[in-house]
Homo-oligomer: A and B are copies of this chain.
Amino acid sequence: MGKDRDIIEHCSSTVVHEDIVEQVRKKMPEDECLFDLAELFKVFGDTTRVKILFALFTAEMCVCDLTALLGLTQSAVSHQLRVLKQARLVKYRKEGKMVYYSLDDDHVKQIFDQGLAHISH
């Protein structure tokens, strides 16, 4: 244990402002919370999924129409809808062979608006 002291401590191990680091650490949310937040934004971090969500802002849509709208494979659309569903961002309704997807969240719109606000400087 004592031997460790002999090691010259560089930036990677030295805290320059211990007080600030402590203060910051206390205010940090739980690791799990931060992880979940990053996971949520990861879902928003893909053009296809963003397009799907924007589309659903306007209207409920079936997979078929989304496929036509996006110009992708039906498979790709289904895969992405699954991701959105797992994130509890969209819900679906079956009507015969068709499946209609719609928004299942109140926050997305506001999050997107804030994001757009950032983009436009």
Query: Footprint of B on A, CB under 8 Å?
Result: 11-17, 20-21, 23-25, 27-29, 33-47, 49-51, 54-55, 57-59, 61-65, 67-69, 73-74, 88, 98, 105, 107-108, 110-112, 114-119
Chain A at the B interface: SS class? helix
Copy total for this chain: 2
Listed A/B pairs (25) with beta-carbon separation below 8 Å:
A11-B63, A11-B64, A11-B67, A13-B68, A17-B61, A17-B65, A21-B68, A24-B55, A24-B69, A27-B54, A27-B57, A27-B58, A29-B54, A29-B116, A33-B116, A36-B119, A37-B116, A38-B46, A38-B50, A39-B45, A44-B44, A44-B45, A88-B118, A110-B110, A111-B118
List 3 A-B pairs, minimum CB-CB distance, nearest first: A42-B45, A41-B44, A41-B45
Whole-angstrom distance from the CB of A36 to the nearest CB of chain B?
A: 5
